[in-house]
Amino acid sequence: MHKVLEVSEGSIENLKIPPMSALSSPRRSAQQSSLASLSTELASQESALSYTSIAFSLKMDLHFSSRLCLFFFMITIHLVHFPTHVSAKDVQNLNCSAPFHCANLRNIGYPFWGSNRPEYCGYPGFELDCAGDVPKITIMDRAYKVLHINNESRRINVAREDYWDYNCPANLSNSSLNFSIFNYASDTRNLTLYYSCPASFMNNISGILLPNRFNCSIDGKNSNNYYFSWDSNSFNSSISSAIGAYFRSCANSVVIPVWQSTLRYMVNNLNSVNLTCALRVGFGLQWHANNRLCEECEQSNGNCGYIAKTGEFICYCPNGAYSSSCHSRTGSFLNKKRKIYVGIAASVLGTMVILGILLIVIQALIKKKTREDDRNVEAFIRNHESLAPKRYSYSDVKRMTKSFRDKLGQGGYGEVYKGELPDGQLVAVKVLKNSRCNGEEFINEVASISRTSHVNIVTFLGFCYENKKNALIYELMPNGSLDKFIHNDRNIKLEWKTMYQIAIGIARGLEYLHRGCQVRIVYFDIKPQNILLDEDFCPKKSDFGLAKQAQKKESAISMLHARGTIGYIAPEVYSRRFGGVSHKSDVYSYGMMIIEMVGCTKNLDDEVTDTSICHNLIYERIEPGNDFQFDGVATEEEKKIAKMMILVGFWCIQTNPSERPSMHKVLEMLEGSIENLQIPPKPSLFSAT
């Protein structure tokens, strides 16, 4: 301070310009400004996300728990330190341990190689071409698109490249394998395509094979071509013999493997669109490339490889290369390994202690949160007695369901049972799972559906909230959910008029939620499983567990996490770069569903990854210059209904939310004239591969 006095009382000419403080530097200020902006943004998001003060209180313990988990995680990271040093000279081990990404597939392992992955990291016959959007592999001089690779099960899903876009390639030849390294997967079956068959044959066979026809122009002429699967043949011996004799007179035939599940669906839904889809979905192969040796190598922390000159397997390790696994040949390395194992054991023991403490703390927080949930739900019920329907005890629920004897179905939120009220009314009782039934979700569903009263929304009759035993009670829909009429292996079909009325009913229910309530309710889970049908096939929406409410009619909705079912979620729900979340997100889900109702049936095979194939094929039917033809359409009226639903569906699934119509406009389009409907642009998310 003495120096400060001298400076203050002296001449200004003697003062030097001091260096800028690090705390007040522009960089520091920018960081503070950025942090302040981020804090403001997070605060606004938190405010928008608070459904009520009840939901806010439920989140407080989760924030504290997250910070506590992060603290213990950082301690664990410091305790657990595994040796990661690799010799700089071991280039082969480094190259083979690097992640291998090829086109749209990531983290591909041995035996595949190609692009920037050296040949010694793979096995002969497993080179991948990564130049296009989808990887390609050549098997017996034939190119296949690689759709999926499962390193754990050693399965690969492929589709023939020459049948990817067209059922009539220039070179007609069977699929063949190198059986020394590949075998067909057990759930693979054969589909045979017959080309240039005779035009005249027995009349009784004509009706059987007509649905199996597909177009193929040979020498400028559209010949008679059919697809047939002898693996799924259900005809008697005399008809089968006649069909076989006829097919032997065809000029060419090609055998192509397909998934068993795909073939089962095709048999029940015969048309050329499904043939194209089946060939694009492909089939499965099991590979064999020193599998046992590679498993031993990887278990010893090595990387599998192959010596092309000698034709031998090799295991690349941090300390060199070995014939099968990373077993050292020197005592010094064994001592190093022992030290490593001791260090790992000590680290694991310390981690277990930390995890034990962490589990105790988490359990205490869960108990506290459960008590808070119970208090908050009870407070909500007391404050909304005028809206909430009748409350039942758990013993009442057991009595009305006869101890949960008749199970109707099961979903992500719980199980649904058939029940009967004391007055004889049949009901559906949804018993909520403990893991999914937190207080906020329960309040959300009760609050949302209690505000509704519409012919296309299921009637909410009561609820049970008793400790961890919670249930919701609705009117029973005798025809079940819509999905069983569009996702089935049996011949259960709805008439086009009925499907049209169902689509209109669903739209009316959504318009009511968006415009007819005191607050706007956005449903967020539109899918066939949540559309119930009464005895007259009148659709009613159920399951409001994911619904959100907005006080202002045009206000956007803020969310931290995506909600809904994959395949129906609007793009802006999982990525804000597509726009803000609003009631237009429901419009997208509605469009996906009615396109599915018309003909793009959901494929339930886990190996299938390209969900846009059927959308592309259906869109081609409505493009200018194409004659609209659709399987199962018998009359002009049915043709108009199918085309109208497709046009409306594609308007609803536009990628930009602002380009989608409101549900009010959707109703006008469905109930208006098809001549007034314009062809919508093709959504960018469904552009052809």
For residue 320, the SS3 value is strand
**Residue 521, burial from CB neighbour count under 10 angstroms (0-12, 13-18, 19+):** buried
Q: Which residues are CB-neighbours of 493 under 8 A, at least 6 positions away?
A: 485, 632
Residue type, 203: N
Q: Please name the residue ranges forming H helices in 479-519.
A: 483-486, 496-511
Rounded to 10°, the helix 331-383/53-79 angle is 170
For residue 339, the SS3 value is helix
Q: Which residues are CB-neighbours of 285 under 8 A, at least 6 positions away?
A: 155, 156, 157, 158, 177, 182, 183, 184, 185
Strands laid side by side in the 390-391 sheet: 390-391, 460-466, 469-475, 426-432, 414-420, 407-410
User: ∠240-242-246 over CA atoms, to 5°?
Assistant: 115
- The upper half-sphere exposure of residue 226, i.e. CA atoms within 13 Å in the direction of its Cβ, equals 23
Which H or E run contains 432? strand 426-432
- Measure the CA–CA gap between 501 and 484, rounded to whole angstroms: 17
Q: Please name the residue ranges forming H helices in 212-318.
A: 237-248, 260-268, 272-281, 291-299
- Measure the CA–CA gap between 564 and 573, rounded to whole angstroms: 9
User: Is the distance from CB of 337 to CB of 330 less than 8 angstroms?
Assistant: no
User: Is the distance from CB of 599 to CB of 618 less than 8 angstroms?
Assistant: yes
> Which residue is catalytic, options 373, 396, 525, 610?
525
Q: How many CB atoms lie within 10 A of CB 347?
A: 16
Annotated binding residue 527: no
For residue 303, the SS3 value is strand
User: Is the distance from CB of 100 to CB of 135 less than 8 angstroms?
Assistant: no
Which two three-digit tokens encode residue 291?
A: 């599998």
User: Is the distance from CB of 460 to CB of 474 less than 8 angstroms?
Assistant: yes
Residue 252, beta-bridge partner list: 195
Smallest Cα–Cα separation from 588: which of 491, 685, 502, 458?
685
- Measure the CA–CA gap between 252 and 226, rounded to whole angstroms: 11
CA 249 to centroid of chain Cα atoms: 45
b/e map 177-210, b = 16+ CB within 10 Å: eeeebbebbeebbbbbbbbbbeeebeeeeeeebe
- Measure the CA–CA gap between 227 and 271, rounded to whole angstroms: 10
Phi, psi of 98 (to 5 degrees): -70, 145
| Strands annotated E in 135-209 | 136-139, 142-150, 155-160, 182-184, 188-197
Is 90 designated active site? no
Q: Please name the residue ranges forming H helices in 10-87.
A: 26-49, 53-79
Binding-site residues for ATP:
430
Catalytic residues, by residue number, are 525
